[in-house]
Structure 1
């Protein structure tokens, strides 16, 4: 076969990322070579490919679902918000500058269409199928002229479009109809039909509505996916603890030892790659919660200060909320603190930043003997090393260059007492190292916590990806999906004028 599909959504967070991953895993299990693709992603959760390119974590996850190595071709444009109105533009895995939303949509975005189409065509020449993920909604009519990620790329590639709707939010029929009706006639020609996501209850009660939707739009529904608890897959920016987790606080599997271990993650502004703590939440007996008040650190056995796209802004936030003082007290008392990337930087003594915040010299929290200077060139790397006697792999994404002036070496960062800091994202996914680290935390916290000897984060992630493939295989019309991917949208789909039906 040779073909493709664009998975669009009625809204952001409708389930495009997980549906795309599920389709990739389902096709891969059928022996189809498949690649994911997202022309433009806006996310603070990113990943470094083996060739040193930065792409969205969702596309890296989808590549894993397809059992292929992620590359910059799969996410040629990544926007990393630095505030309400500006974002860093990452093109083909490398940052090319900061831009306002008006500046980007006013001209730069349309100029990138040739680049993203070229990437898509290269993938099409390599794989049997390419499953594209849209962004937001294809019916953002104010942005259609410069769109390169929804109907713009679908039109350029002549890909059929499957629109996903989250029925758990309510209003899914109106969302399907309205999304279609707001599109131009040429765009509507490619909208093949719909996929209902996160349904709870008896599907037979939904079927009359699906029949009415078919009558109103001339487009069928390709499946109804049930609400699935405990899905833990890297998406764009949803605040959750994945694998064994839930929003805000993880659900704990029974501990191996006598105690649980409580982990508090400071929910700093512009928090990035907070997926680092997913591996902690996957451990039986570990509770992970995101916090924004000093009193929430009192009963924590470990506090994590995660990555951030705004290091100086996060530092100010920690001070304003009393969290900085709480962290200092923990350090003085010998209670564990872990800083990752931007979180590592704020734990240092001094920050010189003329790049990210442009605030110049700023005092850090002084918990680690580290001085940070922000460089204009971004560090993108896939380091491999050892810590606590165990092999560790990670990835680095940062402008801050750390000069370590003392302490015990730790993953290119340092450790002083029970305060640890590193630029390495993803290090906690290394099973042996994670267990040794948690044993150290438990010792310092006085907890009778025992890390599970056989937890494999990679295996848990594979289970989740297989579960997504199962959802597609069991609850979607896979024969019809396969025909759609191979042959495109059915001919003669009716045009729905805005305002219909009468």
Structure 2
């Protein structure tokens, strides 16, 4: 099991690296995270929803992701309220107290079921913890760290982030706050995100090993060339997008932004830079604007209004492409109807109104499905009419179109509405879809960015090379190489050998 001294210490990437390393050695390996709080999620082949981090880890292991790899997913919805997803399906919206006290045993049962299922199928399970194991106010309610190590009887590797400072204090503090039985499970320490001269760090490493009585297995360098999906929207504050390119795509950073990995492929398009637009910013000079997904369409629509963006986006839609994904698509319509207050306490609200479409939140099951569709050729996409795309859907609202034409014909999945064979909508330069991962489709993405290139007097690149997919595959392999080169794996190997 890989645990961390804090959130964003590097647990996810270390798990991915170990999955890749031992998969290449011939083991059947699976990742596992009992409980994840994330708005970056994915639909598996089982039409179940899990966190995107476990999808990356499954890819590193060379296997199909499953809901058993992330049996509990918490998606923050409003203040202190999260949607609770168990085995890939939403069960309810709960506040923190009710989840910890009334639902804990059900969650624990689901976790044990998934762990047992993976044990039957795989040689090695690499478990990821959540946050820090030393949250002393919640040790008796733990569902993600040492409780899971105990259930799995797993040895623990502790990852500490040196980039934010205080690495030795965070390691010592974690050991000091853990009960003795939990401290004994930690067999080694990895220091992550190191940028300096390792010789200067060595004396501190020797001292911390004496203080906690546990070896430091290695120090991982901070490699900014790695391009891997982020687990949590908090990482957006630290992320450095390329801005000074020939083509600029603006992306609205909605307060409850979700599935922001939808925009990742655009960043790796030649000539294209990403401008992340906060609620207090100005949209400024951009060549296209993307409204990404959100966990709460109504609240984020109100946030756009309050920030003064609604009219500006509507005006820009006459000049540049505006593209909405899932919740962003819903906002581009005329009306968001929530008469039963399913989405938020605010009820129904007006949309931006560029698309002649109305979205209604009703007491229906959440749409969770992988999808395929054919491009209808409306709007700016007429030259790729008939091409197919794939993606995944995670939405609760259903949309009915007025005069706006649809973007896709649905081959598999739901799209706008169960009674409609279509997904998305188009009006001039503006388009939207329910398909997450739409820009992961190389032809669709390259056509979109080539349109922006020609608008800026640049040559089209055509459909020659998928830079994003190539770079992602490289990054997973490179990550594994970094861990193998900088971490003493013997202790981990011995821990595996005595169990396999």
CA distance in 2, matches of 1:132, 1:88: 23
SS of residue paired to 1:35: strand
Identify the residue that residue 378 of structure 1 maps to in structure 2.
366
Identify the residue that residue 301 of structure 1 maps to in structure 2.
287
Q: How does 1:26-175 map to 2 (within 5 A)?
A: 26-175=21-170
Identify the residue that residue 335 of structure 1 maps to in structure 2.
320
Identify the residue that residue 477 of structure 1 maps to in structure 2.
488
Identify the residue that residue 369 of structure 1 maps to in structure 2.
356
CA distance in 2, matches of 1:137, 1:175: 10
Aligned residue among 216, 227, 239 for 1:247: 239
**Cα offset, 1:293, TM superposition:** 5.3
CA contact (8 A) 2:291 2:324 kept: yes
SS of residue paired to 2:328: helix
1:357 aligns with 2:344: yes
Identify the residue that residue 419 of structure 1 maps to in structure 2.
430
CA contact (8 A) 2:233 2:258 kept: no
Q: 1:433 to 1:459 in 2, by over 3 A?
A: same
1:273 aligns with 2:234: no
Identify the residue that residue 203 of structure 2 maps to in structure 1.
208
How many residue pairs get aligned? The number is 472
CA distance in 2, matches of 1:344, 1:168: 37
CA contact (8 A) 2:253 2:279 kept: no
**Cα offset, 1:360, TM superposition:** 2.9
SS of residue paired to 2:406: strand
CA distance in 2, matches of 1:239, 1:470: 27
SS of residue paired to 1:152: helix
CA contact (8 A) 1:301 1:442 kept: no
SS of residue paired to 2:274: strand
1:468 aligns with 2:479: yes
Identify the residue that residue 404 of structure 1 maps to in structure 2.
401
CA contact (8 A) 2:247 2:273 kept: yes
Identify the residue that residue 497 of structure 1 maps to in structure 2.
none
SS of residue paired to 1:383: strand
Q: 1:225 to 1:251 in 2, by over 3 A?
A: farther
CA contact (8 A) 2:254 2:279 kept: no
CA distance in 2, matches of 1:451, 1:429: 17
Identify the residue that residue 197 of structure 1 maps to in structure 2.
192
CA distance in 2, matches of 1:456, 1:379: 31
**Cα offset, 1:112, TM superposition:** 1.8
**Cα offset, 1:110, TM superposition:** 4.1
For residues 152-207 of structure 1, the C-alpha deviation after alignment (integer angstroms, 9 at most, x for no partner) is 00011110111100011111111111101211121112111210001112222222
Aligned residues: CA RMSD = 1.9
CA distance in 1, matches of 2:17, 2:243: 24
Comparing 39-48 and 380-389, the one that deviates more: 380-389
SS of residue paired to 1:394: strand
**TM-score in terms of structure 2 length:** 0.91
Identify the residue that residue 448 of structure 1 maps to in structure 2.
458
CA contact (8 A) 2:227 2:471 kept: no
**Cα offset, 1:481, TM superposition:** 1.9
Comparing 133-142 and 371-380, the one that deviates more: 371-380
CA distance in 1, matches of 2:180, 2:192: 26
For residues 52-97 of structure 1, the C-alpha deviation after alignment (integer angstroms, 9 at most, x for no partner) is 0000001111101111000000000000001231100000000000
Identify the residue that residue 459 of structure 1 maps to in structure 2.
470
SS of residue paired to 2:282: helix
Identify the residue that residue 226 of structure 2 maps to in structure 1.
231
Identify the residue that residue 416 of structure 2 maps to in structure 1.
none
Identify the residue that residue 182 of structure 2 maps to in structure 1.
187
**Cα offset, 1:449, TM superposition:** 5.1
Identify the residue that residue 494 of structure 1 maps to in structure 2.
none
Identify the residue that residue 415 of structure 2 maps to in structure 1.
none
CA distance in 2, matches of 1:142, 1:305: 38
CA distance in 2, matches of 1:265, 1:90: 28
Q: 1:246 to 1:168 in 2, by over 3 A?
A: closer
Identify the residue that residue 393 of structure 1 maps to in structure 2.
390
CA distance in 1, matches of 2:467, 2:39: 26
1:321 aligns with 2:331: no
Q: Which runs of 5+ in 2 are unaligned?
A: 376-383, 409-422
CA distance in 2, matches of 1:487, 1:176: 27
